[in-house]
Amino acid sequence: MILCGNPFCSYEAQRAEIDAAVSRFFESHRYILGPEVSSFEQEFADYLGTKHTVGVGNGTDALCLALRACGIGRGDEVITVSHTASATAAAIVLSGATPVFVDIQPDVYTLDPSKLPAALTKKTKAILPVHLYGQPADMAPILAFARQHNLRVIEDCAQSTGGEYASQKIGSLGDIGCFSFYPTKNLGAYGDGGMAVTRDPALAESLRRLRQYGWDKSNISCEAGVNSRLDELQAAILRAKLPHLDNDNAKRIAIADRYDRELANAGPALPARQTNGQHVFHLYVVRSRQQKELLAHMKSQGVYVLAHYPVPTHLQPAYKNYAPKSGALAETERAAKEVVSLPIYPELTLAEQQQVIGAVRAFWKE
Ligand SMILES: *Cc1c(COP(=O)(O)O)cnc(C)c1O
């Protein structure tokens, strides 16, 4: 069975370095917020070309604490997309704020900047674009709109670590960039982990307080923080993996190029690429009206494929109260019925890629 993503393969590929990192962690006798976390924070900052990085427990917390660090909460509105992992809206609701969903650009699946003016109200405090599937959102018009209306921009980079927009690493464009190190992500730990990054020292300080009980320097809680720390073990592993990230992303892109070539006339619509950015193919998402049939066919061929995401956030029970008026998210609802993610990860072998390609072609030949 070929899986959509496979963290064990990256362990096998980098076993010596990861094992050494795990031993170093045990020998250090430091478990929480020690030298591995601070070194990884520095290395990740250098990698992104940004100033401050704050390791947190997971990507959802990175987003929620980013909003809180910006002073956003109850009574405030945050413009985002519904076509994303439900974690995006979860983080907004966790912060106390209200998600306002806008539609996506159907070719690239990211926030449609032309929908921003209609979503703006007196309560709008931030825009939270999602760099989905490894593809950067179209940041130039989003940043321009935010500047014009004095809004914060918080980037959801969970699926796009290493991706670029206008030759800058994503996460370094807005006020705060939020990353997830969930095992299947482009830079994956072997457990949960996340990071919030910013140029702004005051936001960084606030993030550092919030991740640990709202403590000030003398361990007095000056605000109601949470416990959301990146742990030493995951940080040690991530330090071993970070030097491989660009090469791993290049392998993902090479697989995507191959799928593009081999499936050009096979049947499904293939993923478009933002012209002003570098897609890092967390997922390779094709599109077909016969989504259900294609999913079943691929599974019958030993290729485990999924739809990301089959139910838009605004149609899920927990978030349906935030659904805009019917028809406002037409592209989102259409995409949910048509998207299919093909397997893509750096260690996917040529034979496995060929099996995926063969299975897709066979579906339209039958
Ligand atoms: C994975 C993901 C998150 C959440 O990250 P966790 O580390 O699982 O909390 C948020 N947004 C998007 C788009 C994601 O894919």
Q: Where are the domains of the chain?
A: 8-102+109-242, 244-365
Tokens read off for 243: 């030097």
Q: Which atom of ligand 1 is nearest to the CA of 130?
A: 13
Give, for 98, the enclosing helix (H) or strand (E): strand 98-102
- Non-local (6+) Cβ contacts of 275 within 8 A are none
Q: In the CATH scheme, what architecture does the domain 244-365 have?
A: Alpha-Beta Complex (3.90)
DSSP 8-state secondary structure symbol assigned to residue 215 = B
The CA 330 to ligand 1 mean position distance, Å, reads 24
CA–CA gap between residue 35 and residue 37 (Å, rounded): 6
pLDDT tens column, 211-253: 999 999 999 999 999 999 999 999 999 999 999 999 999 999 9
pLDDT tens column, 34-77: 999 999 999 999 999 999 999 999 999 999 999 999 999 999 99
Tokens read off for 123: 């309560």
Residue in this structure with the two tokens 């795990």, named with its chain if needed: 22
CA–CA gap between residue 189 and residue 44 (Å, rounded): 14
Is residue 312 scored above 90 in pLDDT? yes
Position 365 scores a pLDDT of 85
The CA 220 to ligand 1 mean position distance, Å, reads 31
Is the CB of residue 128 below 6 angstroms from any atom belonging to ligand 1? Answer: no
Q: Which atom of ligand 1 is nearest to the CA of 84?
A: 13
Residue 190's closest CA among 335, 19, 362, 364? 19
Domain 8-102+109-242, CATH: 3.40.640.10
- Bridge partners of 127? 79, 153
- Bridge partners of 79? 100, 127
Q: Which atom of ligand 1 is nearest to the CA of 58?
A: 7
pLDDT tens column, 249-302: 999 999 999 999 999 999 999 999 998 999 999 999 999 999 999 999 999 999
pLDDT tens column, 84-123: 999 999 999 999 999 999 999 999 999 999 999 999 999 9
Q: Which amino acid is at 288?
A: S
Residue in this structure with the two tokens 């990146």, named with its chain if needed: 230
pTM strictly above 0.75: yes
pLDDT tens column, 156-186: 999 999 999 999 999 999 999 999 999 999 9
Is residue 4 scored above 90 in pLDDT? no
The upper half-sphere exposure of residue 346, i.e. CA atoms within 13 Å in the direction of its Cβ, equals 23
Is the CB of residue 158 below 6 angstroms from any atom belonging to ligand 1? Answer: yes
Q: What is the 3-state secondary structure (H, E, C) of 273-297?
A: CCCCEECCCCCEEEECCCHHHHHHH
